A = this chain, B = another copy of it.
Amino acid sequence: MQRLNPVPSDLEIAQAVELKPIIEIAESLGLSAEDLEFYGRYKAKVHLDVVEKFKDHPQGKYIDVTAITPTPLGEGKTTTTVGLTQGLGVLGKKTMCCIRQPSQGPTFGIKGGAAGGGYSQIVPMEDFNLHLTGDIHAITAAHDLIAAALDARMFHESYQDAETLFDRLCPPDKEGQRHFSPAMLRRIKKLGIDKTDPDELTPEERVRFAKLDIDPDSITWNRVIDISDRMLRKIEIGLGPDEKGRTRITGFDISVASELMAILALTTSLEDMRERIGRVVVGTNKNGEAITAEDLGVAGAATVLMKDAIMPNLMQTVEGQPAFVHAGPFANIAHGNSSIVADQIALKLADYVITESGFGADMGTEKFFNIKCRYSGLIPNAVVLVATVRALKMHGGGPKVVAGKPLSFEYAAENLPLLEKGCANLVAHIENIRKFGVPVVVAINQFKDDTPAEIELIRQKAVEADAEDAVLCSHWANGGDGAMQLAEAVVAACEKPVDFKFLYPLEWSIKQKIEKIATEIYGAGSVSYTPEAEAKITLYTTLGFDKLPLCMAKTHLSLTHNPAIKGRPTGYVFPVRDIRASAGAGFLYPLCGEMRTMPGLPSRPVFYDVDLDLATGRVVGLF
């Protein structure tokens, strides 16, 4: 495509692209129509059995794109992910990228589109940002079905004794025979009752089976909605007259914060997804025992609702490279990486697979290694660390960067001392990644006021810190041509030997794991725990969840727990406020600061601009 200068809006660029039919994209990867489920002309889901079908293909190189500690504006990770994919395409390499699907909530609120930017985007960007193939809707449906099942069960248990409830759960058929459904058999097995005929249960077993006896105060399963709706953060439900006073305080999170989204991102097969959903803990009974989606009898139905969502979505970059867009878990309370299945398939189809992990490297990439790679068994070949002069100056002590406000003059003129000081943050991230034994390439995402001396300073600092290289790139303005040099550096880095190792073994205690991450990655001197956190450590150790990997829920705006602290602080006390479990997804998440799981709409939301051009049928205003 012909590139313009000045660079038009993302939507204008996206709509100017002459899209290839998705079947052509698929065929370029060796796939045929039978491997696909089409969703319109330009999107398709890819069957999971492609991995098996292509099992003799050589494994591609696996590259994670991450960033230094960003400003609130973001430093261009997605743009670099797409740009690098296009850059490798310019070099003639068979490449694809795997990125996250964004939430629709912020799209209409503060953020607008999230498909990359400029001449490095995934298209069609309207589809990317709206509905896509319905995966998030499927997660919302499955999540909220579990929530409704939970509240309905508590309601029905509240006015019926266990015998009546047993009779309703397993009513006699026309021949007087009672039956357990498959979901009930799973619960019976979990209870350690070795029977399959309901009539053989003892009265005591019938009570154990029928009565979940959920403790309302123990419930951790909120409802979700894919809308930025702050008024739903905390609500009281059950106020209707027919609900007979059985009210409860609860709330809604944004759908991408659902544990089911984390499951979608971490699962490796339908069977595995069914098991994980069954293991989801929604609360405890009054004896403190975990109540799962399996106990509610709803895990099968939730899996059925997500059976198509598990297939990754094939799209394309503006330069026609294939791209998987699949799963979009939160990067704080979840692990912030796109799906394992997309990466697994991509690695069989392409020679270079570029994926992206959310937030900065201390968050996204640590979790990419310790959680995602652990569950997938995949070994990364290189990490691309995105840095900008702007962010590094901020880390050097530059004025606050606020979204929507003009930048201070420090960011518009050369300032080598400020930049040099800020490079400490870059060095921290390089050193962190090197601890996992993976080569690092720094991508300096170019902005118009950057000077050659500034770029050279960053390059020096990066190489000194054991990065393979640091390369200036201009893919936002120049597409793949602007990332050719980066692509060359990545190709070279991928030839280096990898000595991949996890930061901690799963056998370690919860505290050992937390302290390892806090001291080695965040630079803390020690860790403090509230009594709530201590209690959870005891509880989860009892429940056997202490052998799960950790997913630290902390700000991405600092290496520490405090978003105001920039640069590379050391020796501080890192506080753990509380710990939660995503037993289905398979991680514990220590809360280190306030985590917002439901955004709000600003006074002037993006939706004011969004409309249909009725003459052309095209979307306008989705920047």
* Residues of chain A having any CB pair with chain B under 8 Å: 37-41, 45, 104, 108, 126, 130-131, 133-134, 137-138, 140-141, 144-145, 147-149, 151-152, 155-156, 160, 165, 168-169, 171, 181-184, 223, 225-243, 246, 248-249, 251, 270-271, 274, 297-298, 300-301, 303-305, 307-308, 600-605, 607-612, 614, 617, 619-622
Most buried by B among A228, A611, A619: A611
Q: Are A227 and B145 in contact (CB-based, < 8 A)?
A: yes
A308: min CB distance to chain B, Å: 7
- Cα separation A239 to B138 with both chains bound (whole Å): 28
CB-CB under 8 A from A241, the residues of chain B are 234
In the complex, which residues of chain B have a beta carbon less than 8 angstroms from the beta carbon of A232? Answer: 223, 237
With both chains docked as a complex, state the minimum distance between the C-beta of A187 and any C-beta of chain B, in angstroms: 10
Q: In whole angstroms, how far apart are the Cα atoms of A455 and B183 in the complex? A: 43
Chain B residue with minimal CB distance to A232?
B237
Bound-complex Cα distance A39 to B41 (A): 10
Q: How far is the CA of A145 from the CA of B232 in the complex (A)?
A: 12
A130 touches B304 (CB 8 A): yes
The reply to whether A239 and B235 form a contact with Cβ atoms under 8 Å apart is yes
Q: Taking CB as reference atom, which chain B residue is nearest A230?
A: B243
Question: Across chains A and B, which 3 residue pairs bring their CB atoms closest together, nearest first?
Answer: A300-B611, A137-B137, A301-B607
Question: With the chains together, A168 CA to B38 CA distance in Å?
Answer: 42
Partner of A131, one of B183, B301, B308, B607: B308
Contact B236 A240 (CB under 8 A): no
Instruction: Please state if A603 and B165 are interface contacts (CB–CB under 8 Å).
Output: yes
Q: Are A237 and B227 within 8 A (Cβ)?
A: no
- A270-B137 Cα distance, complex, nearest whole Å: 23
- B160–A603 contact, CB under 8 A? yes
Interchain CB contact (< 8 A) of A231 among B155, B614, B617 = B155
Instruction: Collect the chain B residues with CB atoms within 8 Å of residue A226's CB.
Output: 141
Enumerate 22 A-B pairs (CB-CB under 8 Å) in ascending A order. A37-B40, A40-B45, A108-B301, A126-B304, A131-B137, A131-B141, A144-B227, A144-B229, A145-B227, A145-B607, A181-B609, A182-B611, A182-B620, A184-B608, A230-B240, A231-B238, A231-B246, A234-B239, A234-B241, A235-B236, A235-B237, A274-B612
Question: Are the CB atoms of A604 and B171 closer together than 8 Å?
Answer: yes
Within the complex, what minimum Cβ distance (angstroms) separates A503 from chain B? 34
Alpha-carbon distance between A241 and B249 when the two chains are bound, in angstroms: 13
Given A235-B235, A249-B239, also A610-B230 (CB < 8 A): no
Question: Which residues in B have their C-beta under 8 angstroms from that of A600?
Answer: 152, 242
Shortest Cβ distance from A305 into chain B, in angstroms? Answer: 6
Q: How far is the CA of A17 from the CA of B354 in the complex (A)?
A: 42
Whether A145 contacts B108 by the Cβ 8 Å rule is yes
